[in-house]
Chain A
């Protein structure tokens, strides 16, 4: 299916333009329809940072240096993943108008929604960099290792796409996957090193950084952005393999179950 999509793109060049158009409209609907506009994208991680800072740094006194930057990058990656996946569980129902009357490829609908989330993510990443470089005191600063963040983010997008196709296909058969996924992401948040010291996290939950793929993404993002280190290569490779396998499963389900969405939903 993916090879067919790429071939189609080359043949009919309006596909990239269409994905971008749908992404812009999705982004506008999400952020510009309320009075706070784009600021809303930033308020969510800032309010989360405030709460977790009080709980984990002040009350539990974890002693993690530059805890706000540590939280900031972890939260925006996690929120990006959750928004992409939660926002696409019902996509075959909410975006039915796009494929019900034409032979448009459904994968474009997923890509446009994830692209809309990317715009919000880059907005947050920009503020993270400003905060980390110029406001947070005593940081190491960004170095050349920050370039590793590009493949790490691509990996996150691939995971989001894979989970989106899997979940939305399941939705065709079982509507309560929306609530079940909310519970899973709720658990996933705590089975990740977003708010915890990495050593304590690994001691308490050995192997969790491999079970939860976003845990590995966050660990490596912190290595390359906060600590001027290279990624942990085993996690880096493992998460790409994880994404590749899930994408194959997602493509299979979309082809088998998602293709019947127009008659089942």
Chain B
């Protein structure tokens, strides 16, 4: 495991600070009228400088209490947020999944399947080939040409999950995904997760359920107050996390 192209993600000295402005200086008018009264910005250090690598095909866990920086780290590693320092090399398409994927409510389920599939790197003929599987998995065949703004939140989540299951990206970031749909759907989701994602893709799994982390992840990162405290074998990371929760 050691040549550079064996890695899905190589992050070096990455950090992230959010600037939260107290006044609403988000118009040209405001900025002009307050030229000599700049907005008071509060800096929040969300992630302290850290480095980590994710090997192709491995499944790693991200654990830590609320506000520890897990979501920020996933967004940085997925290429959605820009890092303030350091660099991230991402080798492949990424998908950040948090109860579904990004979909437009102005589009029909059919259009969303094609758009999401294409964004995840599939060619149209590949999407054609898995289209029926996605529709059946989501149990939405009779609503396929309905705009998803008319769907219930459960239907939208099922569609998003089904697209992710069948289309997927090279690197999947899964943030508490086992909460989608009813019990029957969850059982189905877990089966697919085990058979196709864990075996075939690079997965970064975020969860507060330690059983899930221990079952699926070879290595895990433990974060506390924006700092990477430990990155290594899952048992040690979980032990540190549980101790912190005592």
Contacts and interface: CB of A to CB of B under 8 A. Distances in A.
A97 B102 contact: yes
Nearest to A172: B26
A24 to B, nearest CB: 10
A180 B28 CA distance: 9
Interface string A15-27: 0011001100100
Interface stretch (A150-158, A208-216, A255-263): A255-263
A263 B79 CA distance: 12
B93 A103 contact: yes
B169 interface: yes
B42 interface: no
A14 B124 CA distance: 8
A176 B25 CA distance: 11
Interface string B26-68: 1111110000000000000000000000000000000000000
Interface in B135-187: 169
B26 to A, nearest CB: 5
Contact of B26 (A12, A17, A175, A259): A175
A101 interface: yes
A135 interface: no
Contacts of A204: none
B217 interface: no
Contact of B118 (A18, A29, A101): A18
Nearest to A33: B106
B119 A102 contact: yes
B107 interface: yes
Given A103-B78, A174-B27, A263-B18, A17 B123 contact: yes
Nearest to A262: B80
Interface in A18-66: 18, 21-22, 25, 29
Is the contact region of chain A dominated by helix, strand, or loop, or is it mixed?
Answer: helix
Residue among A98, A177, A260 with max Cβ neighbours from chain B (10 Å): A98
Given A103-B93, A176-B27, A259-B82, A14 B107 contact: no
A100 B114 CA distance: 17
A259 B88 CA distance: 15
Contacts of A263: 18, 81
B198 interface: no
Given A18-B119, A25-B107, A101 B27 contact: no
Contacts of B96: 100-102
A83 B122 CA distance: 30
A173 B24 CA distance: 11
A104 interface: yes
Contacts of A17: 118, 123-124
Interface in B93-145: 93-97, 101-104, 106-107, 111, 114-115, 118-124
A146 B106 CA distance: 39
A259 B80 CA distance: 8
A262 B75 contact: yes
A101 B120 CA distance: 10
B90 interface: yes
A101 B97 contact: yes
Given A17-B118, A262-B81, A263-B18, A101 B28 contact: no
Interface string A204-232: 00000000000000000000000000000
Contacts of B30: 174
A14 B120 CA distance: 10
A99 interface: yes
A14 B118 contact: yes
28 contacts: A14-B118, A14-B121, A17-B124, A18-B118, A21-B118, A22-B115, A22-B118, A29-B107, A97-B102, A97-B104, A98-B115, A99-B80, A100-B96, A101-B78, A101-B102, A102-B94, A102-B102, A102-B120, A102-B169, A103-B78, A103-B79, A103-B80, A174-B26, A174-B31, A175-B26, A262-B80, A263-B18, A263-B81
Interface of B: 18, 26-31, 75, 78-82, 90, 93-97, 101-104, 106-107, 111, 114-115, 118-124, 169
Given A17-B124, A21-B114, A174-B26, 18 more contacts: A13-B123, A14-B122, A18-B119, A99-B80, A100-B96, A101-B80, A101-B95, A102-B79, A102-B102, A102-B169, A103-B78, A103-B79, A173-B31, A174-B30, A175-B27, A259-B82, A260-B82, A262-B80
> Which 6 residue pairs are nearest across A and B when measured between Cβ atoms?
A103-B79, A97-B102, A101-B102, A176-B27, A18-B118, A174-B28
Interface of A: 12-14, 17-18, 21-22, 25, 29, 96-104, 173-177, 180, 259-260, 262-263
